[in-house]
Every structure is written in structure tokens, then in C-alpha cells.
């Protein structure tokens, strides 16, 4: 086996996991496991924005590879699929082309349809509003506002806008629509509606992963992810704050 083929497999597996929101230590562990399965020594260094891999050849020389990561989201199904594939390689060592094809199939797994995602967002907004002691009617309002905010977020994403702008616009829309709902029906609590509408956009997975990375000693990656999560929360709150400053009762 040529190390270039193994390098492509390891980089592809790491890319899928990292873009799907996996922890840094898990990505590094998976890369090393794949290389060790084919009896090659490997060193990996992963950051939220890049993957570095160095594989030792049989003659003692090293091949080094790098892959830049631009977009990240949460997709636990892909993480689990790549993790399971890397573990299966320890028992069975298929040819590189077969493994690469499986990774491409995993990367092309279709997400839930848009209708399913917007329905889940609506139900989540309704549930969070009730969880924070909002009334049933507050929940109904949050259901519709959550759907509209998700629709606007999807439009911005398809236009190619960056993640921080999506959160900022989402906060503004949720804030203004919640205030509008209160103006039409004064019995509603606009603050509970806002909370229910934006809870799904808080980067809880990123914060959790940053803590786990810190516990595993990946301090640079941990601080990077934590900083990104704090900025996402800040711009979301800034959008809501702007809406409230114009329409607070």
C-alpha cells in the first residue's frame, strides 16, 4: 500500500468528522486508528480549521498531508458512521479504494428534508417555551416564529452568508416577531417567546465539545471552539437586543 492512498483516506475521514462537529481528540484518535490498522505509524494534529497528518513510510521517511476546514455543522450520524468504519478496519483491511468509496458514501448521506427540519424546529420552539414556563399560547406563537426564523436562516445559508450573520439576523427576526405578537395579543409574554424561538440556535454542542477537548488536553482547540461559541451567542443576543430596543414595552 502507498502512503499517499492511506493519507487520502485518513484526511477524508478526519474532514468528515471535523465538519460534522466531532471533538478534536476523537478526530485525532480516528486518524491514528485508521493508519495503525494498516500497520503504519502516524502522528496527527487537528485544529477546528485544519488537519495535519504525518505518516511514516517503511524506509523511515515521512509523508505529510494537510486539509483546510471551512464549514462546520453538527451531524452525529456521520460521526458515528466514520467512527464505526475506522474500528471495523482493525479486523478487516479492505483495499484503499473500497474504504474511500465508503467514506464518500458517508459524506453524501442525505440530511433530513427541509420540511422535517422546519417541523422539528417549530416543535422545539414550542417545547422550549413551555419548558421555561410560558403559556400554551406563548408556545404557539414561538412555534410560528421559530419556523419563520429558521426559514430566513436557511435562505441566508443558501445565499452563502457566514454563520455569524445568520445568528444575528435570526436574533433580530425572533425579537421583532415576538414583540409584534405581543402587540397583537397583550396576554402573551414576548420574553418567553423569544427564549423558546432562539434556544435551538445556541451552540450547546460546541461548548460541550470545547470542555471535553480541554479535559483531553487539547487546550488550543478548546479555546478556539469556546471563543467561537461565545461569539455566536453574542451576535444572537445582539440581534435580539436590537429588536427589543426598538419595541420594548
- Same domain (yes/no): 55, 121: no
- Same domain (yes/no): 26, 47: yes
- Same domain (yes/no): 216, 122: yes
User: Is 33 within 8 Å of 90 (Cβ atoms)?
Assistant: yes
User: Is 87 within 8 Å of 33 (Cβ atoms)?
Assistant: yes
- Same domain (yes/no): 166, 214: yes
- Same domain (yes/no): 103, 124: no
The pLDDT of residue 1 is: 54
Backbone angles phi and psi of 90, in degrees to 5 = -70, -30
Q: Which residues contact 130 (CB under 8 A, 6 or more apart)?
A: 136, 138, 139, 196
pLDDT lower than 70: segments of the chain: 1, 247-249
- Same domain (yes/no): 73, 139: no
In the three-class reduction of DSSP (H, G, I as helix; E, B as strand; rest coil), residue 52 is classed as: strand
- Same domain (yes/no): 139, 239: yes
Tell me the whole-structure pTM to 2 decimals.
Answer: 0.80
User: Looking at the 3D structure of the chain, how many domains does it have?
Assistant: 2
Q: Which three cell numbers stand for residue 110?
A: 442525505
Q: Which three cell numbers stand for residue 163?
A: 454563520
- Same domain (yes/no): 77, 151: no
Q: Which three cell numbers stand for residue 103?
A: 467514506
* Nearest-angstrom CA–CA distance, 6 and 40: 9
Which domain does 72 fall in, by range?
3-107
Among 107, 125, 144, where does a domain finish? Answer: 107
- Same domain (yes/no): 132, 221: yes
- Same domain (yes/no): 64, 129: no
Packing angle of the helix pair 204-215, 24-37 (nearest 10 deg): 60
The pLDDT of residue 115 is: 86
3-state helix, strand, coil in the chain (%, to 5): 70, 10, 25
What is 162-219 written as a DSSP string?
-HHHHHHHHHHHHHHHHHHHHHH-TTS-HHHHHHHHHGGGS-HHHHHHHHHHHHTT-H
- Same domain (yes/no): 97, 156: no
Among 107, 136, 165, where does a domain finish? Answer: 107
- Same domain (yes/no): 136, 200: yes
* Nearest-angstrom CA–CA distance, 143 and 129: 9
The pLDDT of residue 248 is: 56
Each residue of 128-158: pLDDT tens digit? Answer: 999 988 889 989 999 999 999 999 888 888 8
Amino acid at each position: 500500500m502507498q502512503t499517499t492512498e492511506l493519507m487520502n483516506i485518513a484526511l477524508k475521514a478526519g474532514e468528515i468528522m471535523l465538519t460534522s462537529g466531532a471533538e478534536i481528540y476523537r478526530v485525532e484518535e480516528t486518524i491514528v486508528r485508521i493508519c495503525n490498522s494498516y500497520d503504519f505509524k502516524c502522528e496527527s494534529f487537528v485544529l477546528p480549521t485544519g488537519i495535519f497528518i504525518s505518516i511514516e513510510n517503511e524506509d523511515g521517511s515521512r509523508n505529510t498531508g494537510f486539509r483546510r476546514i471551512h464549514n462546520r455543522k453538527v451531524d452525529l450520524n456521520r460521526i458515528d458512521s466514520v467512527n464505526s468504519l475506522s474500528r471495523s478496519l482493525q479486523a478487516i483491511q479492505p483495499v484503499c479504494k473500497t474504504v474511500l468509496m465508503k467514506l464518500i458514501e458517508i459524506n453524501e448521506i442525505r440530511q433530513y428534508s427541509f420540511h422535517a427540519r422546519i417541523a422539528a424546529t417549530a416543535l422545539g420552539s414550542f417545547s422550549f417555551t413551555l419548558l421555561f414556563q410560558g403559556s400554551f399560547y406563548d408556545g404557539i406563537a414561538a412555534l410560528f416564529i421559530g419556523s419563520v426564523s429558521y426559514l430566513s436562516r436557511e435562505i441566508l445559508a443558501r445565499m452563502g452568508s457566514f454563520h455569524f450573520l445568520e445568528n444575528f439576523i435570526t436574533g433580530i427576526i425572533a425579537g421583532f416577531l415576538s414583540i409584534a405578537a405581543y402587540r397583537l395579543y397583550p396576554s402573551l409574554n414576548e420574553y418567553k417567546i423569544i427564549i423558546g424561538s432562539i434556544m435551538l440556535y445556541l451552540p450547546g454542542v460546541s461548548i460541550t465539545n470545547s470542555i471535553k477537548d480541554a479535559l483531553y488536553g487539547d487546550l488550543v482547540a478548546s479555546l478556539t471552539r469556546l471563543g467561537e461559541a461565545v461569539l455566536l451567542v453574542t451576535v444572537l443576543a445582539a440581534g435580539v437586543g436590537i429588536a427589543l430596543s426598538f419595541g420594548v414595552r
